[in-house]
């Protein structure tokens, strides 16, 4: 440890001791003044004035010595501590000299102050200070009353009682302080562990999503080429399997964010009825493939437009519908939505599946838990879906419940606060034939497979591009050519995407391209990563694995916004 570190640590300890002594002075003063107000002690103004002046001057002197010391040795700290505590003892003895018969009041006032002091001290120090204060009490009493057998026995009794009580209270206070420090240490370790976990999940997400990006992107491109019926089926299976893997990764990351309290609710205006109809359309064919009927029962009083977080609501509904699809082999799955009371909407997902036993219902929302071990073997899954759904519903201001009977089916329900609101202003209608024709891209991406995939996506949409393997080369391209948009990967060698973006936005040498639209390509879906992109000056982000629809939508949105702003 460096000398400056030792000095800082010793200063902190000295300030802490001075703070405890100050509390001791305050308690003693309250005892002295309280005795005067109650009429059980009579003394002139002079001793109290001397006492207060002594306290103020000694406090200022101690604080001044600590503050002015540039380097505090162990010997200096020890001597200053002795002065601080010795001054406290002398002041206490001085107060006994003018309190007369109410010494016992000052005694217990001093004992309270002693507890504050000893809570930060070792047991040996507690014994030493208790002996000193007890001896001071008995000496002052004998000097004022004289040493007689009667007084000796009486004061010996009071002194013994005080000594034992002081030791017990100081030991109890020390135990409390030790437990408090243990809890603080455990909390600090827990926070550090959560931070390491978040960083690990971010890295893991990036490493998994990078190859998954290629699998999904290539499979989607393959589906758009002339294929035989068998090849088309194989391509669809590949896209479906990759989607399941992406869903699994998202669930793990979502659970981690919810566990650490970093999940945030986004308030946007969305069409609730339109969004529910979209889910109905999407799930009709999927349930039909398994021989199940799927129905959407939509109440007439459900708000047409509302404000809330549709993405998180959709995630809850998707989790519940996926469970219904997984555990029902026949019958009907019903998504029922209706207004329960003004400002609240009730959602129910009911199936005619295997049902859940009463014992399993008690733990069904616990993490990594399914009804029983055979459920995992027969139906798969991690047991995170319902736990995530419960936490998301709580985050949105609701409560989720289950009503189920074995062999009959299950009904999951929750109520969320949703009020009607005006529809947002209509934007310009999207053109179905929009593509990247005439758009020149700079693709900053170090992974060769991702370069290949993005190149194909841009070429298929009639765009042109140049590829830079890192942020340094991206800056070089921008200084020599004119581009319409940059697709910027975040994790690259030599210079990462966020640093490169900051240089583009702020470096005077890049002023010609300072306003160019930049879209982040990130495999990290954590909120802090997205916020870092926007703060660096990026316009939007595309999450890997990149889908063609997502890339097209984001690029066209950013280009239109840029055109409107800089028209």
CA-only gyration radius of the chain, Å: 36
Is there a single domain that holds both residue 113 and residue 218? no
Whether 116 and 88 map to the same domain: the answer is yes
C-alpha count within 13 angstroms, C-beta hemisphere, residue 414? 20
Highest mean pLDDT among 178-192, 359-373, 539-553: 539-553
* Mean pLDDT over the full length of the chain: 76
> Are 382 and 477 part of one and the same domain?
no
Rounded to 5 degrees, φ, ψ at 279 are -65, -40
Return the pLDDT at 526: 58
What φ, ψ does residue 119 adopt, rounded to 5°? -65, -20
Q: Which two tokens stand for residue 528?
A: 């802090």
Q: Residue 416 corresponds to which tokens in the numbers above?
A: 């969320």
In terms of average pLDDT, the best of 94-98, 171-175, 297-301, 435-439 is 297-301
Selected residue with higher pLDDT from 169 and 405: 405
Q: Single out the residue in 260, 279, 313 at which a domain terminates.
A: 260
Q: pLDDT by residue (tens digit) across 173-212?
A: 566 566 667 777 777 887 777 777 766 766 666 667 667 7
188 assigned to some structural domain: no
Question: How many other β-carbons are positioned within 10 Å of the β-carbon of residue 397?
Answer: 13
Is 50 exceeded by the pLDDT of residue 377?
no
* Helix residue ranges, H only, 261-309: 272-289
Ramachandran region, residue 100 (left: φ > 0; alpha: ψ -120 to 50; beta: rest): left
- Per-residue confidence (pLDDT) for residue 334, from 0 to 100: 94
Answer yes or no: is pLDDT of 380 > 90: no
Query: What's the whole-number mean pLDDT along residues 238-267?
Result: 71
The reply to whether 451 and 504 lie within a common domain is yes
Residues 6+ apart with CB under 8 A from 251: 382, 384, 385, 388
pLDDT value at 406 more than 80: yes
Q: What percent of the chain has pLDDT over 90?
A: 16
Listed in sequence order, the residues at least 6 apart from 205 whose beta carbon sits closer than 8 Å to its beta carbon are: 249, 253, 523, 524, 525, 526
Q: H or E element: which one contains 81?
A: helix 74-99
The answer to whether residues 536 and 272 touch, using CB atoms and an 8 Å cutoff, is no
Would you say residue 457 lies in a domain? Answer: yes
Q: Are residues 505 and 397 in the same domain?
A: no
Name the burial class of residue 449, with classes exposed (0-12), middle (13-18) and buried (19+) by CB atoms within 10 angstroms of its CB. middle
- The answer to whether residue 221 scores a pLDDT higher than 80 is no
Structural domain contains residue 546: yes
- Indicate if the pLDDT at residue 429 is higher than 50: no
Identify the pLDDT of residue 146.
60
Can you tell me the mean pLDDT for 328-353?
90
420 secondary structure, DSSP code = B
**Is the predicted pLDDT of residue 374 greater than 50, yes or no?**
no
Residue 83 reports pLDDT greater than 90? no
CATH number of the domain that residue 540 is part of? 3.40.50.2300
Q: Are strands 344-350 and 332-341 parallel, antiparallel or unpaired?
A: antiparallel
Residue 211 token pair = 């190859």
Share of the chain above pLDDT 70, in %: 64
CA 360, distance to chain mean position in Å, is 30
Whether pLDDT at 518 is above 90 = yes
Helix (H, G, I), strand (E, B) or coil at 336: strand
Contacts of 420 (CB under 8 A, 6+ apart): 303, 304, 305, 306
pLDDT mean over 321-327: 87
- The arithmetic mean of pLDDT across residues 338-358, rounded, is 89
Place 457 in a pLDDT band, splitting at 50, 70 and 90. Answer: confident
CA–CA distance, 268 with 311 (Å, rounded to integer) = 10
118 has pLDDT over 60: no
Q: How far is CA 320 from CA 272, 313, 384, in A?
A: 18, 11, 12
pLDDT band at 122 (very low <50, low <70, confident <90, very high): low
Residue 336 has pLDDT above 90, yes or no: yes
Q: How many residues make up the chain in this entry?
A: 567
> Is residue 286 situated within a structural domain?
yes
Confidence (pLDDT) at 430: 45
What's the Cα-to-Cα distance from 328 to each of 197, 355, 383, rounded to whole Å? 36, 9, 17
557 and 508 within one domain: yes
User: Which of 260, 283, 301 delimits the end of a domain?
Assistant: 260
User: Is residue 409 included in any domain, yes or no?
Assistant: yes
The band of 296, judged by pLDDT with boundaries at 50, 70 and 90, is very high
Task: Report residue 55 as tokens.
Answer: 């306290």
Both tokens assigned to 18:
């001075």
User: Is the separation of the CB atoms in 555 and 439 below 8 Å?
Assistant: yes
Which 3 state secondary structure label does DSSP give 384?
coil
Judge whether 430 lies within some domain: no
Residue 2 in this model has a pLDDT that exceeds 50: no
Residues 343 and 475 in one domain: no
Question: Which of 2-11, 264-273, 298-307 is least confident?
Answer: 2-11
Smallest Cα–Cα separation from 517: which of 550, 563, 553? 563
476 Cβ neighbours under 8 A, 6+ residues apart: 468
* Residue range(s) defining the domain that contains residue 351: 268-417
| pLDDT value at residue 131 | 65
**What's the distance, CA 476 to chain centroid?**
39
Q: Is the peptide bond before 238 cis (omega within 30 degrees of 0)?
A: no
Q: Is residue 158 part of a domain?
A: no
Q: Is position 156 within any domain?
A: no
Q: Which residues, 6 or more positions from 97, have their beta carbon under 8 angstroms from its beta carbon?
A: 47, 140
With a cut of 70, say whether residue 419 has pLDDT above it: yes
Residues 397 and 289 in one domain: yes
Give the whole-angstrom CA distance, residue 303 versus residue 345.
Answer: 9
One domain, residues 273 and 319 = yes
**CA dist 375 to 303, 386, 415, Å?**
38, 14, 28
- Residue range 532-556: average pLDDT? 83
Give the domain-ending residue among 260, 288, 308: 260
> Which one is predicted more confidently, 440 or 327?
440
Each residue of 34-76: pLDDT tens digit?
666 766 556 666 766 777 777 778 778 877 887 877 777 777 7
The SS3 assignment for 444 reads strand
Residues 341 and 369 reside in one and the same domain: yes
**523 plus 391 within the same structural domain:** no
Q: Give the total number of structural domains in the chain.
A: 4
Tokens representing 422 are 């005006």
Has residue 3 got a pLDDT over 50? no
- The 3-state DSSP class for residue 111 equals helix
What stretches of 235-292 adopt beta strand conformation (E)? 268-271
Torsion on CA atoms 414, 418, 423, 427, rounded to nearest 10:
-60
414: phi then psi, degrees, rounded to nearest 5:
-155, 155
Give me the residues paired with residue 416 across strands: 345
Q: Name the range with the highest mean pLDDT among 122-131, 203-212, 236-245, 315-324.
A: 315-324
For residues 407 and 315, state if they share a domain. yes
Rounded distance between C-alpha atoms, residue 36 and residue 54, angstroms = 19
Give the CATH number, domain containing residue 363.
Answer: 3.30.565.10
């Amino acid at each position: 440890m460096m000398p400056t570190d030792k000095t800082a640590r010793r200063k902190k300890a000295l300030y802490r001791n001075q703070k405890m002594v100050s509390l001791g002075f305050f308690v003693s003063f309250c005892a002295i003044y309280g005795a005067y107000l109650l009429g059980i002690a009579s003394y002139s103004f002079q001793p109290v004035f001397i006492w207060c002046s002594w306290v103020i001057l000694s406090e200022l002197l101690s604080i001044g010595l600590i503050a002015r010391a540039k380097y505090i040795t162990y010997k200096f700290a020890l001597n200053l501590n002795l002065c601080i505590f010795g001054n406290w003892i002398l002041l206490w003895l001085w107060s006994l000299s003018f309190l007369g018969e109410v010494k016992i009041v000052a005694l217990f006032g001093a004992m309270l102050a002693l507890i504050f002091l000893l809570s930060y001290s070792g047991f040996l120090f507690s014994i030493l200070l208790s002996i000193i204060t007890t001896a001071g009490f008995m000496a002052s009493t004998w000097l004022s009353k004289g040493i007689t057998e009667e007084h000796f026995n009486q004061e010996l009794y009071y002194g013994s009682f005080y000594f034992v009580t002081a030791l017990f209270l100081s030991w109890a206070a020390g135990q409390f302080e030790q437990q408090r420090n243990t809890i603080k240490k455990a909390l600090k370790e827990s926070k550090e562990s959560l931070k390491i976990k978040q960083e690990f999940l971010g890295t893991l997400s990036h490493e998994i999503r990078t190859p998954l990006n290629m699998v999904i992107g290539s499979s989607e491109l393959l589906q758009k080429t002339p294929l035989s019926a068998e090849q088309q089926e194989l391509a669809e299976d590949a896209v479906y399997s990759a989607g399941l893997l992406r869903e699994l990764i998202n669930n793990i990351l979502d659970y981690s964010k919810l566990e650490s309290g970093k999940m945030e609710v986004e308030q946007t205006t969305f069409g609730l009825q339109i969004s529910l109809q979209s889910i109905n359309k999407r799930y009709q064919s999927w349930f039909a493939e398994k021989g199940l009927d799927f129905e959407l029962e939509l109440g007439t009083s459900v708000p047409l437009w509302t404000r809330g977080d549709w993405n998180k609501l959709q995630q809850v509904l998707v989790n519940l519908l996926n469970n219904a699809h997984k555990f029902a082999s026949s019958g009907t799955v019903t998504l029922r939505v209706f207004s329960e009371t003004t400002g609240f909407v009730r959602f129910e997902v009911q199936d005619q599946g295997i049902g859940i036993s009463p014992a399993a219902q008690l733990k069904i929302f616990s993490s990594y838990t399914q009804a029983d071990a055979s459920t995992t073997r027969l139906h798969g899954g991690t047991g995170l879906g319902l736990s995530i759904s419960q936490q998301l519903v709580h985050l949105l201001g609701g409560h989720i419940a289950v009503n189920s009977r074995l062999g009959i089916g299950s009904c999951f329900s929750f109520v969320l606060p949703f009020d009607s609101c005006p529809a947002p202003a209509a934007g310009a209608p999207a053109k179905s034939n929009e593509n990247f024709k005439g758009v020149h891209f700079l693709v900053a991406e170090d992974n060769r497979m991702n370069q290949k995939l993005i190149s194909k996506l841009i070429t298929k949409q009639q765009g042109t591009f140049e590829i830079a393997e890192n942020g340094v080369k991206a800056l070089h391209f921008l200084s020599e050519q004119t581009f319409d948009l940059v697709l910027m990967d975040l994790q690259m060698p030599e210079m990462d995407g966020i640093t490169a973006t900051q240089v583009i936005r702020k470096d005077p040498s890049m002023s010609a391209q300072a306003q160019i639209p930049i879209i982040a390509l990130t495999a990290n879906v954590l909120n802090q990563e997205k916020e870092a992109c926007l703060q660096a000056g990026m316009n939007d982000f595309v999450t890997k694995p990149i889908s063609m629809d997502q890339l097209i939508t984001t690029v066209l949105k950013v280009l239109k916004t840029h055109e409107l702003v800089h028209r």
